[in-house]
Amino acid sequence: MTTVLDVQDVTKVYGTGDTAVHALRGVRLTVDQGDYVAIMGASGSGKSTLMNILGCLDVPSGGRYLLDGLDVGALDDRRLAVLRNRRIGFVFQSFNLIPRMSALANVELPLAYGGVKAAERRRRALAALAQVGLADRVGHEPNELSGGQQQRVAVARALVTSPALLLADEPTGNLDTRSTEDVLGVLDRLSADGRTIVLITHEDDVAARAKRVIRLVDGRIVEDRRAAPVAGPPPGPMGTGVRHR
């Protein structure tokens, strides 16, 4: 079993002196390939902070973080960019779509930076948008989409490169039951394909779809519960398990 994520005593302090905020106070965590991890915790417990570090978007104040055995802190800018582009799909809590660009163009963007040809790019972007149920909204710009639709575009953008590691910060936070089911179905399928998934959620029924649930309180891991074996399929809706395709 290969370890994909290896977080060693990571701390994160925002600000200095009296106003310093200790968002992470020594997090130790390893995630194996193919695992499906849900991170839970109260608001402000440091979930997003941890996620940003996992996604190589931010650097820890202390400790080390290894991705695929590589110390991320030692990588230069260019290799970090390749890593973010090829290995990681990131869904932001606040969508982070580029304004004045159509849903299709937004989803195509990671492929463009990955050097994929235009026709191939378009085909894959359309497929990813269809997967999240937005085939009829490809030409709309972010400000013409509802919150839930924007979130699903963000999910499509994260999975369009077929990344081995999918990091999602509350991907269902703004979605109704049906859309939540669509997105979770996509994640289940990716997990069944053997991809590694880490997601943040406040909802128990979303966490119930993961193989492992981690609970954060004040920047520390207080609970790490395995619900299903790493090697097996994800528990699926109501813990019924998802069939392999």
Ligand X SMILES: Nc1ncnc2c1ncn2[C@@H]1O[C@H](COP(=O)(O)OP(=O)(O)OP(=O)(O)O)[C@@H](O)[C@H]1O
Query: Looking only at residues 82 through 101 of this chain, which bind ligand X when binding is defined by CB under 6 A?
Result: 93
Residue 72 C-beta: closest distance to ligand X, Å: 18
Question: Which is nearer to other proteins, 114 or 229 (by Cβ)?
Answer: 114
By a kind-dependent CB cut-off of 5 to 8 A, residue 208 interacts, out of other proteins, Mg ion, ligand X, none, with: none
Closest alpha carbon to 31 in 13, 14, 12, 55: 55
Residue in 4, 5, 10, 23 binding ligand X, rule: CB under 6 A: 23
Interface residue with ligand X among 46, 89, 234, 236 (CB under 6 A) is 46
Give the closest residue to 126 by CA, choosing from 145, 100, 153: 153
Cβ 230 vs Cβ 194: under 8 Å: no
Binding partner of 69, given Mg ion, ligand X, other proteins, none, CB within 5-8 angstroms per partner class: none
CA–centroid distance for 161 within its chain = 13
Report the distance separating Cα 85 and Cα 23, nearest Å. 27
In DSSP terms, 27 is beta-bridged to 10
Binding status of residue 45 toward Mg ion by CB under 5 A? no
Number of residues that bind ligand X (CB under 6 A): 13
Closer to Mg ion by CB, 48 or 201: give it: 48
- Residue of 57, 70, 75, 208 that binds other proteins (CB under 8 A): 57
- Out of Mg ion, ligand X, other proteins, none, what residue 130 binds, judged by CB under 5 to 8 A for its kind, is none
Closest separation in Å from C-beta 82 to other proteins? 7
Q: Which stretch binds ligand X (CB under 6 A): 47-55, 76-84, 133-141, 229-237?
A: 47-55
47 part of the interface to other proteins, by CB under 8 A: no
Nearer to other proteins, 163 or 235 (CB): 163
Q: Which residues are near other proteins by CB under 8 A?
A: 52, 55, 57-59, 77-78, 81-86, 90, 92, 96-101, 109-110, 112-115, 157
Q: Which residues are near Mg ion by CB under 5 A?
A: 48, 93
Q: Which residues are near ligand X by CB under 6 A?
A: 14-15, 21, 23, 41, 43-49, 93
